[in-house]
Chains A and B, each alone.
Chain A
């Protein structure tokens, strides 16, 4: 008995939308089991020697299983459900989701064109830096124009950083996955240098951080009583605009054709090189904008802790959202829920912070695993000499 993958005549739309949902649900189930099994020590780690093992009898075994199961379920509840049912957490979810969505939208466009921008984290950092640069220049000034110019600087900074892998690909044929990844580390070291040196806050007692942004450099809060800032709204608007572009405009069409049928694209007059430029400038710019949103919003400054791996998590968001900007919005919310939920779980259950990473990775694993169901139908074939479909079924087009 073995599995045979039979290509579908056309990709299954049902699977396209069902698989992300399925991935999340399966993650919750497996997560509950997983954390039920490896329950962390109750009063954490302060013990140098191993604890005395408890007595082994049926009663303790059963109650042990019970409490383990209960822990696993509680963990999943805290991480996935609790943030959604606790209204004062919604603001936190929005604030956390915003950069993930913004960067994810840019990455989704790129991935459609089969262009892999892994350097979003670096573009995010450089965007933040560029904005901070303007901020330092305008520190003593006031005016409505200051914040927009910082945001614009962030956008341009990220786009410029994104242009580097694009140039390397177009001029030197360099694999953009590797070059954009390398540039991320260069960006982080650049940021470290600026934050510990030239841009350090003179009244900050030598701590490696820039001065705080001034009031005219801060994103206004749009929902009073929360930390939900203007950036969140701009992000949603951008996501919808990009969705429109991708589904209705020539640009979107070009991107999709270049990604799925490069030969046809060439014949159709779409330049691969131009697409590379556009994609990197767009995704770099959006990542940079996300960076400056964080600086002028929740962070308030730039410090060594600024890179929060949003650029990498956004890759998960883009995939989970099926490379569709509207899907990315949902996926960003899901990931944000796991971040906020992770805090809740730590607060109430002592679940270690690292568990978030496991949940997020599992979601992506299950999603990637189920990807195949979109393009292929699964058949169980018995080992008896099979007539019919098997050989012919394994026809697959060039990717």
Chain B
């Protein structure tokens, strides 16, 4: 196994992990505030088509990222209004959002199928980005570096800032937070919007970086993997990073296994590799939920609507 090969594999893994990392970070923040938003797949697809259409029309990938974030956040507001202001059931609303986002993106994308766009490539100079060794550090799209920065930002925000502390308090004990005087609903609106924006950017990664074209359902279910990832990571951003790359590694291995034939498939049939991230999540869920009494590290108010008493 040459260095060249290893570098190629690493680059593929990074590509596969970035979208779920981005969407996962967003969902992590949302869930930390106590809201379970299952509509990630729908928001990612809306972000994907928004990003694609923007590049197609204006040629600017930077603008596309902003539009994708706005689109994802915008669509997430439907969820927010229903669950936060109208106290609708979060699970059902999230699912409806997924169905809605999928249909909306397909409808809008109808006229965009079969058209290529320019991919969002690196901003580093060619000397570094194309260098056979250097490219493993410098050859990526800005979205990849963005995802790393966001991991650090989110971790810092949640652990070391006052607003982050408030957000966590709202997720752990909304009634107490409310009685101290914090706006539980306001904080949650913000968290949901952030989740939507990140999902939108994560979805846009597909047409902007991975496959510069549009196809129905381009994200292929990665939104659900992002949700699994948040649980798998125990709601901690740094563990989310590791988890995203773990999942990305598994997915990539599946393909390389197919390419190189027998070795991997002897261990596990290819569909088994594909199912591994989900099984792994279930096992991790069992371990962390059982170890602490009362549900593990999940924010205590996760999924429950806020009902203030007088």
Contact = CB atoms under 8 A, between A and B. Distances in A.
Interface of A: 38, 40-41, 44-45, 48, 116, 118, 168, 171-175, 177-179, 181-183, 185-186, 189-190, 192-193, 196-197, 312-313, 315-316, 319, 352-358, 360-362, 364-365, 368-369, 371-372, 391-392, 394-399
B89 interface: yes
A185 B272 CA distance: 11
Contacts of B271: 189-190, 192-193, 196
Contacts of A398: 307
Given A45-B113, A352-B107, A369-B86, 16 more contacts: A118-B38, A168-B282, A172-B286, A173-B290, A173-B294, A173-B296, A182-B281, A186-B279, A186-B282, A197-B269, A355-B103, A360-B99, A362-B100, A365-B82, A365-B100, A398-B307
B28 to A, nearest CB: 14
A399 B307 contact: yes
A332 to B, nearest CB: 16
B99 A361 contact: yes
B74 interface: no
A365 B278 contact: no
B36 A372 contact: no
B95 A312 contact: yes
B56 to A, nearest CB: 10
Nearest to B113: A45
Interface residues of B, number: 62
B71 to A, nearest CB: 15
A183 to B, nearest CB: 7
Majority-rule SS of B interface residues: helix
Contacts, number: 175
A173 B295 contact: yes
Contact of A38 (B81, B107, B294, B296): B107
B111 interface: yes
A354 to B, nearest CB: 3
Interface stretch (B133-141, B163-171, B223-231): B223-231
B91 to A, nearest CB: 5
A99 B31 CA distance: 33
B253 to A, nearest CB: 15
Contacts of B290: 171-174
Which of A181, A357, A369 has most chain B Cβ within 10 Å? A357
A197 B86 CA distance: 48
A40 B270 CA distance: 40
B224 A354 contact: no
A189 B254 CA distance: 13
A358 B274 contact: no
Given A173-B289, A182-B228, A368 B86 contact: yes
Contacts of B93: 364-365, 368
Given A352-B110, A361-B99, A399-B305, A185 B278 contact: yes
B78 interface: yes
A316 B307 contact: no
B289 A174 contact: yes
Given A173-B296, A182-B279, A396-B308, A316 B269 contact: no
A144 B288 CA distance: 49
A169 to B, nearest CB: 9
Given A174-B286, A182-B228, A352-B107, A372 B87 contact: yes
B183 to A, nearest CB: 14
Contact of A395 (B38, B275, B298, B309): B309
